[in-house]
Amino acid sequence: MIHGSCHCGIVTWSFNRLPESATACNCTVCRRYGALWAYEYANQGVQVAGPTKLYIRDESLAFHFCGQCGCVAYWRAIQPDAEGGHRIAVNLRLTEPEPIAHIPIRHFDGFDRFLDLPQDGRCVSDYWF
């Protein structure tokens, strides 16, 4: 299990396992946030706590951030997917780097093509120099 929190500690998350990968997305929101995302379903492996402010994008995703220190903690799908669950992604940059340093980075083109790009061998530690 890994845990993350915003800088002031008001907003927290826990992920019940070590993620298999971290996703770097280049969409117009994610490239501005600089987040590394780990995906799961809300209340099925990820728990979030603390009051957040929201930024809703395209009526599909709600980005949750701390109203005190401003850190982006996670996003949550507004509508359930085909299986009836709400996807959620936590920002791995809010946890300590050591437990996740070896996790490979997946690149997602959310700007042009909305598809996964080939992996290039980098891992989280390559992003945290």
DSSP states along 59-101: TTEEEEE-TTT--EEEEEESS--TTSPPEEEEEGGGS-HHHHT
> What is the number of structural domains in the chain?
1
**Is residue 72 a contact partner of residue 64, using CB atoms and an 8 Å limit?**
yes
pLDDT at 105: 96
CATH code assigned at 89: 2.170.150.70
Q: Indicate whether 23 belongs to any domain.
A: yes
Q: Indicate whether 126 belongs to any domain.
A: no
Distance, in Å, from the CA atom of 115 to the CA atom of 129, rounded to the nearest integer, reads: 27
**Is residue 50 a contact partner of residue 36, using CB atoms and an 8 Å limit?**
no
**Is residue 35 a contact partner of residue 22, using CB atoms and an 8 Å limit?**
no
pLDDT at 9: 98
Parallel/antiparallel/unpaired status of strands 2-5 and 45-49: unpaired
Q: Indicate whether 124 belongs to any domain.
A: no
Per-residue pLDDT tens over the stretch 45-69: 999 999 999 999 988 999 999 999 9
Distance, in Å, from the CA atom of 5 to the CA atom of 66, rounded to the nearest integer, reads: 9
Mean per-residue pLDDT of the chain: 93
Residue 44 neighbours by CB distance under 10 Å: 11
pLDDT at 129 over 80: no
Sole residue written with tokens 């690149």 = 107
Per-residue pLDDT tens over the stretch 5-38: 999 999 999 999 999 999 999 999 999 999 999 9
Tokens standing for residue 53? 């402010």
What is the extent of the structural domain holding 80? Answer: 2-118
Q: Indicate whether 81 belongs to any domain.
A: yes
